[in-house]
Amino acid sequence: MSDEPNVNPRLPMSDPSFQRASLAGVATAVLAGAVVLTGWVLLEFDRALFVYAQALVLSLALTVYRMVVWMHRPATAKVYRQAGRAVWQSRQRFRMCAHLLRRCLDYFAANRFVARRGWNRWAAHWPVMVGCLMALATVVPLVFGWVWFETPPEDLSSYRVMNFGIHVATIPVNGVIAFVAFHALVWAAIPVLTGCTVAVVRRWRDRGDAAVQTFVYDILPLLALLSIAVSGLLLTVSYAFLGGRFHSVIAGFHMVVVCLTLLWLPYSKLLHIPQRSLKLAHMICEYEYPVSGAVTCHRCGQEFADRRQIDDLMHVQQTLGYRYEMAEQSSRTTDQQHYQFICPQCRRAALVLCQTSRWSQNANVSGS
């Protein structure tokens, strides 16, 4: 009998991507937790944010885990490896960074890729993005204890703005700056509420979206963001206009919705936000690797794709175990022997011809 352990290759524990992703997730959780504890011990500890901090750290760890698993997929891993190799071997990094900065401002900051699909989509995506970034920029420094406000004993009409324990400014309690700073989450909730409302209306009226959308994947994220924005605004209404009435109930509901959304983020449609980093890797490859020559279709003779793209696609398919050679030859196939050198139009035409031939055979058999 063999002394080797009986390991089922289907079990996740034996998967290298699962092992690396688990290690990355645990390391992220430990590092983020250490940052939070260090900030609370050395800087400022706000007990009201304890639950939010736990949810934020766990959500970050789960997101890293999910991203590492996704980045281990052959197609994704190849793009990231090519981008990393391009950055490492580039001789014009400053020019490449300037080019990428301009494209990132157009693609990520302005969401031009969404605007090309329709301005109604852009009117939903861009405000939500801006509001979420504003909320993160406000919450993370507060949760980690990096920023806080102190009232000096000798002057109760002003606040000291503390950043990493350093006094950076003094602002009046009833001033404009204090009003804007203390209502930062209110300003963040307004664009989120606007964008989610536009998205809900569009999904309600657009028959194309309504035909393919699902509740969990498309509707539930919008409802979660709407619940966070509305409950956050109600907290302000409670202590500003109602003398604190219903504040504890609204605060509890808001905390539950925020924490559940953070924990659900790695497993929801919202994961596409960190996955957009793949576009940055693609931009690097586009800039660094010039066009390697067009591939000619071996059926119609038309040029239809870049040679490097076809080679990468063939490599990924072979890694996944898919064989599209058009003849039983050796592993070193030529252009004429591989199905990837047939353009999409000819593939559709070949499919129609095969279906027609099959239909004709069935018709002849039934007629005879």
Classify residue 212: in a domain, yes or no: yes
- Asked if 22 and 114 sit in the same domain, the reply is yes
Classify residue 245: in a domain, yes or no: yes
Contacts 24+ apart (CB under 8 A), 144-153: 144/35, 144/36, 144/39, 144/53, 145/36, 145/39, 145/40, 145/43, 145/44, 145/45, 145/46, 146/39, 146/43, 148/43, 148/44, 148/46
Range of the domain at 45: 12-125+198-284
CA distance 189 to 226: 9
- Asked if 116 and 16 sit in the same domain, the reply is yes
Classify residue 330: in a domain, yes or no: yes
- Asked if 208 and 310 sit in the same domain, the reply is no
Of 259, 284, 309, the residue that ends a domain is 284
- Asked if 253 and 307 sit in the same domain, the reply is no
DSSP letter for 335, please. G
Which of 284, 291, 289 has the alpha carbon at shortest distance from 101?
284
- Asked if 245 and 109 sit in the same domain, the reply is yes
CA distance 228 to 132: 11
- Asked if 338 and 276 sit in the same domain, the reply is no
Neighbour-count burial of 347, counting CB atoms closer than 10 A to its CB (0-12 exposed, 13-18 middle, 19+ buried): middle
CA distance 184 to 177: 11
CA distance 77 to 13: 20
Classify residue 28: in a domain, yes or no: yes
The dihedral region occupied by 145, where left means phi > 0, alpha psi between -120 and 50, and beta the remainder, is: left
Residues in the chain, pLDDT under 70: 1-14, 290-292, 327-336, 363, 365-368
Classify residue 264: in a domain, yes or no: yes
Which of 166, 148, 176, 170 has the alpha carbon at shortest distance from 157?
170
Classify residue 94: in a domain, yes or no: yes
Please answer whether residues 253 and 231 qualify as being in contact, where contact means their C-beta atoms are separated by less than 8 angstroms: yes
- Asked if 35 and 88 sit in the same domain, the reply is yes
Classify residue 187: in a domain, yes or no: no
- Asked if 83 and 206 sit in the same domain, the reply is yes
CA distance 64 to 95: 30
Of 217, 251, 284, the residue that ends a domain is 284
Classify residue 248: in a domain, yes or no: yes
Q: Quote the pTM value.
A: 0.81
Among the residues of 116-183, which ranges form H helices? 119-143, 176-182
Of 262, 284, 306, the residue that ends a domain is 284
Number of domains comprising the chain:
2
- Asked if 340 and 213 sit in the same domain, the reply is no
- Asked if 298 and 280 sit in the same domain, the reply is no
- Asked if 97 and 65 sit in the same domain, the reply is yes
- Asked if 25 and 114 sit in the same domain, the reply is yes
